[in-house]
Structure 1
Amino acid sequence: MAHAEAAHILQEKFGYDHFRTGQDQAIERVLADENTLVVMPTGGGKSLCYQIPALMLPGLTVVVSPLIALMKDQVDALNDNGIPATFINSSIDFREIDERLRQAAAGEVKLLYVAPERFESEQFVDELNDIKISLLAIDEAHCISQWGHDFRPSYLSLAAVPERLASHPAVIALTATATPRVAQDIRQRLHIPDDGMVNTGFARDNLSFQVVRGQDEDRYLAEYLKLNQDQSGIIYVSTRKEVERLYTFLSRKKLPVTRYHAGMNDAERAQNQEDFLFDRSPIMIATNAFGMGIDKSNVRFVIHAQVPKDLESYYQEAGRAGRDGLPSEAILLFKPADVQLQHFFIEQSDADTAHKHLQYQKLQTMVQYANTDDCLQQFILRYFGQNDTSPCGRCSNCLDQREAVDVTTDAQKVLSCVVRMHERFGKSLVAQVLAGSNVQRIREMRLTELSTYGLMRPQSQKEIATFIDFLTAGGFLAARGGQYPTLSVTPAGVAVLKGEETVHRKTAVRAHQSVSTDDATFEALRLVRRQLAEENKLPPYMIFPDQTLKAMSSEKPQTLMDMLAIKGVGEAKLDKYGQIFLDALNDQAKQTVHAADPNG
């Protein structure tokens, strides 16, 4: 019975006729008052796993969310769907906080979004204890784990919250990025049983991954954005200075860009974020301070113009593309100098030695990802513990038609040099020896006497170092250690040295159009949505996501009942916007007929 009611709410409030994988399982656990961990990729529908139970359970659902922007977006989207929700954070004064707590106690709202820091206040917990709370939902739950890429001390206190609340609510924790170690840590801290995890896997079937190496990044970016300037996208960089540099460079190219970083004042950041959300400036250049709270569903591409600190951060940020399920791209522009920048960040951090060691290892994995010739999606999935997968068939490596060149001889030179250096040194020194460097350290250690000294002299140290990264990513070399990892030859590398195995490597990549936009009806519906968004002061994707407009464009509903059958059109949205979009479809159909027969 509960499942039937949940399915009805899914259709009525959210406009979907069936659950995605794992959603119904998570909802059934929550309704049975069982603690649950939900691991789903970005765009996989995690929020419905607590939003639907919130409408079925008595009392209030409290949602812990790390960012103000995330709260506001989700509350706005829920209210637009006719679901009573509100938030409490530092953007409102104490009188408004009291009013919203009163609304929650009176049953006028079903979901209350709060920041984790709120639970450090005994007064706030006491106020919540006057309210019947049935469920505690913890979003971005990887923040609770010291092994996660975005650990936040304020999340640690959440482990005690269910016991501090008089109603002892069930807990549902949700994340898109959790390695097996992080998932175990979350379960232990929040008392979630081993069989209480709903993990739908990490694959994003609509995302195409691409790595671009050894190119003029500015030129590539300008060409790509010129081809895709009618699409929405995010460009991530590591520093405020690089945000400003790229913003100036791309603005001069007359591209519709805006920017976001912590060095800007609050008003400018807020305005730029709004311009991005409303598609006035569809391309955002930002540091990783931007994005966790952004539910914008029609981001068609995410480009990392500088390498991020680890694969978890990369996958979470890349996953902001294509949340609506439509084909989208995640592109990494890789250059070794960016790795040195991340090394500097780790060295300058306040973390202890053990945590720094962990960060160096994670950065090594990121470098290997950038240099592998294997399927990029598979590389990511293996990192998250998902080993039984096939090549995606969509990433730049799977689709690479360039000829694979036999590089076995060069591989043997590198592997042999590592062996002759007794596997005691790192990439930089090995590359210097092979390039025939004459620096003082090489002479003092008498490495000029090695038979491999200068063996790859026609190539630069940078080229050799990149080739070493390629061999490490391919599993022929292993990099062990923290800040200064040493290289050793793996069993696969030994087979290459013995001539039992060969090594092949594919040899710049041209910018391309990310998605075709030759659908005139879809473009007409986008224009209507944009006008409605401005009138209602809502981001366009909150009116309807691109996926719903695509469905309208292809299925061309004739009546409001037809419109209700479109994926993403619930009853509240139908009442507000249904007739407007039907009229737009009819106008477009008339224009098409007239264009085909102007004398008709």
Structure 2
Amino acid sequence: MESAAAKQVLKQYFGYDSFRPGQDRLIEAILEGRDVLGVMPTGAGKSLCYQVPALLLPGVTLVISPLISLMQDQVGALRQSGVPAAYLNSALSAAEMGDTLYEARQGGYKLLYVAPERLTAPDFLAFAREAEISMVTVDEAHCISQWGQDFRPSYLKILDFLSLLPRRPLVSAFTATATATVREDVVRALALREPFTLTTGFDRPNLYFAVEHPSSKPQALLRLLAGRRDKSGVIYCATRKTVEDVCDMLCAKGLAATRYHAGLPAEERQQNQDDFLYDLKPVMVATNAFGMGIDKSNVSFVIHYNMPKNMESYYQEAGRAGRDGEPADCILLYSGQDVHTARFLIERSREAAPEEGLDEQTRAALLDREYERLRQMTFYATTTDCLRRFILGYFGEAAPVSCGHCGNCDTTFEEVDATLDAQKILSCVYRLAERGLHFGKIVVSAVLCGSQSEKIEKFGLQSLSTYGIMEEQTAKRVRQLIDTLIDRGCLQSDAERHNTLYLTPAGNALMRGRDTFVIKLPREKPPALKAAEKAGAAVGTADSTLFDLLRDCRARLARQAHVPPYIIFSNAALSDMAARKPITAEEFLEVRGVGEAKADRYGVPFLETIKAYLREKD
């Protein structure tokens, strides 16, 4: 019956016929009287998860919200939908606040939004002790966690407030971006009682992610906007000055753009926000002060002119695109200077608003956490791997090696028939199992690449028939293949046993040649360049044509000797050989990785290859 009532409220007040994934389960849990924690990506409709039950529960629901603009937007939208709602924050005069509290005492509201700073104010506390409060909802709940990206000490007052009430109401908490650590911290900091916890998944399939490294950000931005003249979008900048400069530039080029940052008068911010919401100015240039709680459904692009300080902020801001489910673009314009700017902003924010009640050790740990988040954000901005996989992995969610729908997958991935390589990996896991051994992907890739690590020696893994059979591949590429084999169900990773790998029936069939394995993987630089870099040689000194000839020579000798190519010479040795171009036995011994025994055994064919190349070149 409650489900039917919830659907009726959904249709009546919000105009939807059905709930999005996860909404119905969270609402049902609330209506059953349970505390809840909902983690839903921006645009997934988390507000309805507490607004719908608020209309079905007796009394009033208090919604604790961190920003004035968020409250105003939410309350404005609710009132438009016929829902009696109001807010209490510093934007109201004393008279307006008194009127709102009076109306609340009369039962005039079903939802009352309040800033966390006001919870323990005497007038509000007196009201709260008398009112019938059915639920307290904590929006942007990550703000209560010291390990969240936007910790606010004022959120710590929530637990004190709850303890002062004559009867503890239901407590629901919602956030768009929270790692597992932050989720656990939210449950603890709010003292949630056996909460129903639901993470609906962080993926937004309609969003296209891309990162550009332009030599000129203004030119890159103008190019991106030129193809989006009839679209609405947000351009995020790191500082107020950058907002002003970018907005002035766009206006000078005849683009209908406006601006938003905390340094503008409140009236201008409101006017500019309205111009954007009503498409009078379809392009908004703003700092991160803009957007929280803004539910503009037709935002078709979000461009970050500067890199944010962390992935949580980036994904939340980027997620303001495509709320209508239509395809939308999320593009980051990155430069190295962004890292310095972000570090400066982290340090300045700590100095301007030192955390209350924290000792120096905790403050230092929080600062280190901010820097670590910045490093992860920088990794995202510079990776050549799938961007969606990086984002989802950051939030603890599995994803395929390639999503096929991001800037990196479009430009740096290639489709390959990896059947033979897959069979080598599966055979390695199989051979290890024959010895009663099971390892994770790090060790398995080390075996396949012919590593001489301590663990390889300890377990005698160099005697495996699969040892070194993928020496031509990098360990990173092999691990990517292993990830894909896990995704495809050919391998199983046991999380309770340090992610050790096990062969599945599907993997067994592939290993025995009864299936094929076609995938997309990132393109890699030529092995010669990687080896030269690793060995410390100058990349430009190695002759790539000669390197290829030497590699062919090595492959021929390896086939004759029935050994992996690396057993003869490593890629680093070939790269040094191609750079030095030895033509005598004495010169050959100067090559890194060439000892006397190998020089005696293999010197002649390699020297002949080099001499033939030099003769042909002359």
Larger Rg: 2
Does residue 1:326 correspond to 2:326, yes or no? yes
Q: Give how far 1:388 is off.
A: 4.9
Distance between the aligned counterparts of 2:96 and 2:253, measured in 1?
Answer: 45
User: Aligned runs of 1:328-407 on 2, under 5 Å?
Assistant: 328-348=328-348, 349-350=350-351, 352-389=363-400, 391-400=402-411, 404=523, 406-407=525-526
Is this contact kept in 1: 2:213–2:334, CA < 8 A?
yes
Name the CA shift for 1:14/1:284 in 2 (closer, same or farther; >3 Å). Answer: same
Q: Deviations over 1:460-506 (max 9, x none)?
A: xxxxxxxxxxxxxxxxxxxxxxxxxxxxxxxxxx99x9659xxxxxx
User: Cα distance, 1:211 vs. partner?
Assistant: 0.7
**Residues 145, 182 of structure 1: 8 Å contact kept:** yes
Are the equivalent residues in 1 in contact too, given 2:35–2:195 (CA < 8 A)? no
1:279/1:358 Cα in 2 relative to 1: closer, same or farther (>3 Å)? same
Residue identity in the other structure for 1:320: R
Task: State the distance in 2 between where 1:195 and 1:112 align.
Answer: 23
Give yes or no for the alignment of 1:64 onto 2:75: no
Secondary structure of 2:127's aligned partner: helix
Deviation at 1:457, TM superposition (A): 7.1
Contact 2:120-2:161 at 8 Å conserved across structures: no
Q: Does residue 228 in structure 1 map to residue 222 in structure 2?
A: no
CA distance in 1, matches of 2:392, 2:155: 26
For structure 2, the 5+ residue unaligned runs are 355-362, 415-522, 542-565, 573-618
Judging changes above 3 Å, is the alpha-carbon distance between structure 1 residues 141 and 15 closer, same or farther for their aligned structure 2 residues?
same
Which range moved further: 17-26 or 168-177? 17-26
**Corresponding residue of 2:37:** 37
Shift of 1:389: 4.8
Q: Which amino acid aligns with 1:197?
A: T
Q: Which amino acid aligns with 1:312?
A: E
Change (3 A) 1:153 1:77: same
User: How much has 1:138 moved relative to structure 2?
Assistant: 0.7
Once the two structures are superposed, what CA deviation does each residue of 1:84-112 show, in whole Å capped at 9, x if it has no partner?
11111112222222222222222222111
Structure 1's 75 and 413: CA in aligned 2 closer, same or farther, altered over 3 A? same
Larger RCO of the pair (alpha carbons < 8 Å, separation 6+): 1
Aligned to 2:436: none
Letter paired with 1:365:
Q
Give the equivalent residue in structure 2 for 1:201. 201
Task: Map Cα deviations across residues 397-452 of structure 1 (whole Å, 9 max, x no partner).
Answer: 222278746343333344344xxxxxxxxxxxxxxxxxxxxxxxxxxxxxxxxxx4
Looking at structure 1, the residues matched to 246 and 132 of structure 2 have their Cα atoms a distance apart, in angstroms, of 50
After TM superposition, the structure 1 = structure 2 runs for residues 403-552 of structure 1, keeping only pairs within 5 Å, are 404=523, 406-417=525-536, 452=537, 455-456=538-539, 499=571
Distance 1:124 1:305 in 2: 42
Cα deviations by residue, 1:222-258 (Å, 9 ceiling, x for unpaired): 1221221221111111112211221122111111111
TM superposition score normalised by structure 1: 0.68
The answer to whether the Cα contact below 8 Å between 1:66 and 1:116 also exists between their aligned partners in 2 is: yes
Residue in structure 2 matched with residue 302 of structure 1 by the alignment: 302
The alpha carbon displacement at 1:168 in A equals 1.2
Match of 1:406, SS state, is: coil
Change beyond 3 A, Cα 1:402–1:392:
closer
- Bigger Cα displacement from structure 2, 261-270 vs 8-17: 261-270
Question: Does 1:4 pair with 2:4?
Answer: yes
Q: CA deviation at 1:83?
A: 1.2
Give the 3 Å change call, closer, same or farther, for CA 99–303 of structure 1 in structure 2.
same
Contact 2:60/2:132 (CA < 8 Å) preserved in 1?
yes
Please, which moves more after superposition, 7-16 or 348-357?
Answer: 348-357
**What is the deviation of 1:143?**
0.4
Q: Is the 8 A contact 2:105 2:127 kept in 1?
A: no
SS at match of 1:34: coil
Following superposition, the deviation at residue 456 of structure 1 comes to: 4.7
The yes-or-no answer on 1:22 pairing with 2:22 is: yes
- Give distance in 2, aligned partners of 1:263 and 1:343: 21
3-state secondary structure, aligned to 1:66? coil
> Measured at CA, do residues 30 and 263 of structure 1 come closer, stay the same or move farther in structure 2, by a change above 3 Å?
same
Structure 1 residue 390 displacement after superposition: 6.1
Match of 1:271 in 2: 271
Corresponding residue for residue 242 of structure 2? 242
Offset of 1:70 from its aligned partner?
1.1
- How many Å apart are 1:353 and its aligned residue? 2.7
Indicate conservation of the 8 Å contact 2:384/2:412, yes or no. no
SS in 1 for 2:411: coil
Distance (whole Å) between structure 2 residues aligned to residue 3 and residue 81 of structure 1: 20
Aligned 8 A contact 1:149 1:312 in 2: yes
1:335-366 alpha-carbon deviations (Å, 9 max, x no partner): 11211222233344436332222122111111
Residue deviations 1:515-572 (CA, integer Å, cap 9, x gap): xxxxxxxxxxxxxxxxxxxxxxxxxxxxxxxxxxxxxxxxxxxxxxxxxxxxxxxxxx
User: Residue type matched to 2:251 in 1?
Assistant: S
Partner of 2:104: 104
CA contact (8 A) 1:226 1:255 kept: no
**CA spacing shift, 1:170–1:210, aligned 2, 3 Å:** same
Structure 1 stretch 47-56 or stretch 123-132: which is displaced more?
123-132
Match of residue 576 from structure 1: none
CA contact (8 A) 1:374 1:397 kept: yes
Q: Which stretch has the larger CA shift, 95-104 or 314-323?
A: 95-104
- CA apart distance, 1:123: 3.1
Structure 2: how far apart are the matches of 1:368 and 1:38?
28
Q: Deviations over 1:188-233 (max 9, x none)?
A: 1112256621110111121111111244221121122122122111
Distance 1:387 1:234 in 2: 29
The whole-number CA distance in structure 2 between the counterparts of 1:71 and 1:140 is 12
Separation (CA, whole Å) in 1 of partners of 2:77 and 2:87: 13
Distance 1:231 1:277 in 2: 13
Aligned mates of 1:24, 1:307 — CA distance in 2 = 36
Instruction: Give yes or no for contact 1:68–1:293 (8 Å, CA) kept in 2.
Output: no
C-alpha contact 2:392 2:399 (8 A) present in aligned 1: no
CA distance in 1: counterparts of 2:297 and 2:340, whole angstroms: 33
Aligned partners of 1:297, 1:149: CA distance in 2, in Å?
25
- Distance between the aligned counterparts of 1:155 and 1:413, measured in 2? 53
* Change over 3 Å in CA distance of 1:163–1:405 after alignment to 2: closer
Letter in structure 1 aligned against 2:140: E
Q: CA deviation at 1:25?
A: 1.1
Secondary structure at 1:259 match in 2: strand
Distance 1:195 1:97 in 2: 33
SS in 2 for 1:242: helix
Asked if the contact 2:55–2:110 (Cα under 8 Å) also holds between the matched residues in 1, the reply is: yes
Distance in 2 (CA, whole Å) between partners of 1:11 and 1:271 is 31
The two structures, once aligned, show a CA RMSD in angstroms of 2.4
Distance in 1, Cα, partners of 2:341 & 2:322? 29
Query: Which amino acid counterpart does residue 145 of structure 1 have in structure 2?
Result: S
The percentage of aligned residue pairs carrying the same residue is 47
Q: How many pairs were matched up?
A: 429
Q: Measure, in 2, the Cα distance between the counterparts of 1:39 and 1:61.
A: 20
Give the conservation status (yes or no) of the 8 Å contact 2:147–2:182: yes
Distance 2:110 2:532 in 1: 66
